[in-house]
Amino acid sequence: MNAAPTVAGPAPGAPNGAAGLAVDVHGLTKRYGSRTVVDHIDFDVRRGEVYGFLGPNGSGKTTFMRMLCGLLTPDDGEGTCLGYNLRTDADRIRLEVGYMTQKFSYYEDLSIEENLDFVARIYQLPDRRAAVAATLEQLGLTARRKQLAGTLSGGWKQRLALGACMIHRPRLLLLDEPTAGVDPKARRDFWEEIHGLAAQGLSVLIATHYMDEAERCHRVAYLAYGKVLTRGTVHEVVDRAGLTVWRLETENPSELVVALHGRPGISVVPFGSALHICGPDAALVRAAVDSVTGPGVTATPSQPSLEDVFIYLQGSTKDNFS
């Protein structure tokens, strides 16, 4: 991608939020019937921060984002987004937030240029032709501006979607699994773009399932079935989990998975011809390792990774549908 689009500063008279926070919420809750999908979350995102939001499908990440950008009203809790009250200033928030949804949501029978022009009309930009042209240029879309959106590859659709949510120069981006289904080169270009924007002061909250992407974030939080289980820098999250990890090398890892199935206090994850066995109780982990170590199996202690932490957390939490 080309140089990052210029990020707008606060509009005249716009609040800046407490202590430079783009997002500052407390006890945020959303229920659907008897099911609580976001359960009393306290959360903040700093100005210029790239914050990674992780968790299994159905954990409440999308619902939380929709409350932040004024599309859903919280049932409980309070807070601000870009200094605006979530409950009373939803219309103002929507004008200063860019929201990129999981599903490509633009008109496939319109060209890139026509889609961007449509979005510029929605935001009533005073010089929308200039805004469209600048967005096309800044995101490397000018040569494809006449191409129908429906004919674009996943990476180019992603770039169009980013351009559409940036055209009004927001101060906060909410990105819901934006790189799902795109190739590694497009993902890398996308992250270079995001960090370029953050360097200009844009705040970014990004939901992702990719651990390598999470490690590019300044801070991360893990949400499982409506609750935040851990948060902090990657180092803090890994250290706080207190996991013991052993790596088992073997020619038949599936046999070890069967042998270890059902042992309490551990998770077992295949990595090619190896297994990672991890858990918070070092004695239980070591006992599991010793139970399968023998001819043809090499066991070595290993440092826990962010992926080890999140796999363990996911396996140790209960689905709130059950």
User: Can you read off the two tokens belonging to residue 30?
Assistant: 């959303």
Q: What is the model's pLDDT at position 310? A: 87
CATH of region 18-237: 3.40.50.300
Short-list 299, 302, 296, 301, CA closest to 251:
296
More confident position, 206 or 272? 206
- The mean pLDDT value for 238-242 works out to 94
- What distance, in Å, lies between the first and last C-alpha atoms of the chain? 44
- Stretch among 26-30, 174-178, 238-242, 311-315 having the lowest mean pLDDT: 311-315
Tens of pLDDT, residue by residue over 16-73, are: 555 589 999 999 999 999 999 999 999 999 999 999 999 888 889 999 999 999 999 9
- Residues of the chain with pLDDT > 90, as a percent, come to 62
For 282, the 3-state DSSP assignment is helix
Short-list 15, 91, 92, CA closest to 47:
15
- Stretch among 48-57, 101-110, 284-293 having the lowest mean pLDDT: 101-110
d(CA 38, CA 65): 10
More confident position, 258 or 18? 258
For domain 243-303, the CATH class is alpha beta
User: Can you read off the two tokens belonging to residue 55?
Assistant: 């968790």
Contact indicator for 156, 182 with CB cutoff of 8 Å: no
User: Can you read off the two tokens belonging to residue 32?
Assistant: 């659907």
* 311 C-beta neighbours (distance < 10 Å), count: 18
- Say which residue the tokens 């200009």 belong to: 200
Q: What is the model's pLDDT at position 74? A: 95
To the nearest 10°, the Cα dihedral for 82, 73, 59, 316? 90
Tens of pLDDT, residue by residue over 147-190, are: 999 998 888 888 899 999 999 999 999 999 888 777 888 888 88
Contact indicator for 64, 41 with CB cutoff of 8 Å: yes
Short-list 129, 200, 192, 202, CA closest to 165:
202
> Same fold for the domain at 18-237 and the one at 243-303?
no
d(CA 170, CA 131): 13
- The mean pLDDT value for 86-93 works out to 94
Contact indicator for 86, 30 with CB cutoff of 8 Å: no
- Residues of the chain with pLDDT > 70, as a percent, come to 92
Residue 15 main-chain phi, psi, to 5 deg? -70, 155
Tens of pLDDT, residue by residue over 261-276, are: 888 889 998 887 889 9
7: pLDDT confidence band, cut at 50, 70 and 90?
Answer: low
To the nearest 10°, the Cα dihedral for 122, 123, 125, 130? -70
- Mean residue pLDDT of the chain comes to 88
Tens of pLDDT, residue by residue over 221-235, are: 999 889 999 999 999
Given a cut of 90, whether residue 236 has pLDDT beyond it is yes
d(CA 157, CA 30): 31
More confident position, 225 or 281? 281
Contact indicator for 79, 23 with CB cutoff of 8 Å: yes
- The mean pLDDT value for 186-198 works out to 88
Q: What is the model's pLDDT at position 15? A: 59
Given a cut of 70, whether residue 5 has pLDDT beyond it is no
What is the distance, to the nearest Å, from the Cα of residue 161 to the centroid of all Cα atoms in its chain? 16
Strand partners, 276: 247, 269
List the domain boundaries for the chain. 18-237, 243-303
For 67, the 3-state DSSP assignment is helix
Contact indicator for 37, 57 with CB cutoff of 8 Å: no
